[in-house]
Each structure stands twice: as structure tokens, then as C-alpha cells.
Amino acid sequence: MCRQFVGGSRKLNLFPQVVVAIGGSEFEASNTRDKNFTLAKLAKRIEPVDAGIAHDLCALEMAERQERDYSGL
């Protein structure tokens, strides 16, 4: 949902300036191969998440259809 909000906001140009938020947390820096990401690596990681979301949405739609059929709506 967050990704869709950000993507939609960008398409509608709702935030024309770059916005950066910085918290007060400190993190140890590490640029190991497993912890740095290229666009290709991100795409590979996002793919199964998107597939899972699509699967869940399909299951919800089927459940709603069955519920409508059962209740006679």
C-alpha cells in the first residue's frame, strides 16, 4: 500500500521537491554484498512480494465472490 501511495504521489506530482526524513537512530554502516542493492537486486526482491500480494488479492476476491453467492446477493 505504501509503495502504491508513493508511486501515485509521484505520478500526480504531489511532492515536486525531494523530501528527506532523518530520525535519531544510529546504525552501523555495512556495505557487504548482501546488504547493498542495485536496481536489479531490488527488482528480484520485489518480484516475489508482488506475486504474494497478487495471490492474496485473488484469494480475497474469490472469497468475496463465494460469500456473495452464498448469501444470494
Residue 19 C-alpha cell reads as 523530501
Give me the pLDDT at residue 56, please: 94
If one counts the domains in the chain, the total is 1
Q: Which domain holds residue 68?
A: 37-73
Q: Which residues contact 45 (CB under 8 A, 6 or more apart)?
A: 37
What φ, ψ does residue 42 adopt, rounded to 5°?
Answer: -65, -40
Global pTM reads 0.49
Asked, for residue 41, whether it belongs to a domain, the answer is yes
Q: For residue range 1-59, list pLDDT tens digits in order.
A: 677 877 787 788 887 776 656 567 777 777 788 778 889 999 999 999 999 999 999 99
- Measure CA of the first residue to CA of the last residue in the chain; give whole Å: 29
Asked, for residue 6, whether it belongs to a domain, the answer is no
Q: Which residues contact 15 (CB under 8 A, 6 or more apart)?
A: 9
Give me the pLDDT at residue 49, please: 94
Q: How far is CA 65 from CA 36, 45, 53, 54, 56, in A?
A: 43, 31, 18, 16, 14
Mean per-residue pLDDT for 51-71?
91
Say which residue, 69 or 21, is predicted with more confidence. 69
Give me the pLDDT at residue 58, please: 94
